Amino acid sequence: MDNSNEKPYVIGLDMGGTNSVFGIVDQRGTIKAQVVISTKAYPDINDYVKAGVEALQPALDLVGGISQIRGMGIGAPNGNFYNGTIEYAANLAWEGIVPIAQLFQDALGVPTRVTNDANAAAMGEMTYGVARGMKNFIMITLGTGVGSGIVVDGNIVYGSDGFAGELGHFVIDHTENGRPCGCGRSGCLETYCSATGVARTAREILSKRIEDSPLRQLDPDKITSYDVFKAAEQGDPIALDIFDFTGKVLGTACADFVTFNSPEAIIFFGGLTKAGDYLMKPLREAFEKNTLNIFQGKAKLLISSLNGSEAAVLGASALGWE
């Protein structure tokens, strides 16, 4: 007899390029326990799964053990919902095709499903956040990379192979100056508008300009988007120009995105959104300036209402109930 329907919890895993966040979630969407491991620290996928299962143990003990878990959902870069795999993810150490759902299913003994990290965030936002009640929206995640989850008529768009909606790899610079991307191509949106893209912009602008900036006190190769934010807070013109450039690039790309699904909103999620108006003001201006007239004034530009990695953990966990 299958008692899985009576099991009160699911596990959600938000796998980022830097860290992985595991959450144990109840049916109301309350995260009962959360643990974090470094994604980068495990070049071997089997070691990563082992570390994840070990880190989960104290959290599982809190809710009465694995017998209380109905399933697991994973949000991962290039996660394929149809195959349960991560495939050729540019921001992860593991190459090729990784059968991530099967590995965790074997290790934990609970049904496990996977989707891409931005689709997971979109599911979380639709269930618990600012997209509640929306049927058409685009979720854009601004982290180590740029991810996207596209919802049309209330459903995540997966396409024929599970990979639809890779807007981070929409090429915005087709010239020979396009920045090389981890995907093997050049000029992808991700190379400009992710946290790493902001750091690249910082290095480029610092090398071309001569005025003083708090960013010049730092090793150029170690500058982060957070350093740029701190400099912007001090009124540093170079930092403000870095965000201005980033916002314009992203706003212009978003104006293109609305042409194919006419969303009610584009929702931004991830570490870079903490830059607030430094990023959002130029983004809005570029979006309004470049939006096709029939779409003018329709799509709202919103920042996720779910804090930290909660949206992605909650969204991933939603797969565990299915």
Residue 151: how many CA atoms within 13 Å on its side-chain side?
A: 26
CA distance 125 to 121: 6
- In the chain, where the domains are located: 4-124+309-321, 134-303
pLDDT in tens, 257-304: 999 999 999 999 988 999 999 999 999 999 999 999 999 999 999 999
Q: Are strands 265-269 and 137-142 parallel, antiparallel or unpaired?
A: parallel
pLDDT in tens, 179-220: 999 889 999 999 999 999 999 999 999 999 999 999 999 999
Which tokens is 199 given? 């750091």
Which tokens is 157 given? 């768009």
Grade residue 36 by pLDDT with cuts at 50, 70 and 90: very high
4-124+309-321 maps to which CATH number? 3.30.420.40
- The model carries a pTM of 0.84
Grade residue 309 by pLDDT with cuts at 50, 70 and 90: low
CB 157 within 8 A of CB 165: yes
Mean pLDDT of 128-157: 93
CATH of 134-303, one of 3.40.50.720, 3.40.50.2000, 3.20.20.140, 3.30.420.40: 3.30.420.40
Q: What is the 3-state secondary structure of the chain?
A: CCCHHHCCEEEEEEECCCEEEEEEEECCCCEEEEEEEECCCCCCHHHHHHHHHHHHHHHHHHCCCHHHEEEEEEEECCEECCCCEEECCCCCCCCCEECHHHHHHHHHCCCEEEEEHHHHHHHHHHHHCCCCCCCCEEEEEECCCEEEEEEECCEECCCCCCCCCCHHHCECCCCCCCCECCCCCECECHHHHCHHHHHHHHHHHHHHCCCCCHHHHCCHHHCCHHHHHHHHHCCCHHHHHHHHHHHHHHHHHHHHHHHHHCCCEEEEECHHHHHCHHHHHHHHHHHHHHCCHHHCCCCEEEECCCCCCHHHHHHHHHHHHC
Q: Quick check: do 4-124+309-321 and 134-303 share a fold?
A: yes
Is the pLDDT at 4 greater than 50? The verdict is yes
CA distance 17 to 14: 10
Positive or negative: CA dihedral 229, 310, 126, 145: positive
Is the pLDDT at 122 greater than 80? The verdict is yes
Q: What is the 3-state secondary structure of 279-315?
A: HHHHHHHHHHHHCCHHHCCCCEEEECCCCCCHHHHHH
CA distance 154 to 157: 9
Is the pLDDT at 308 greater than 70? The verdict is no
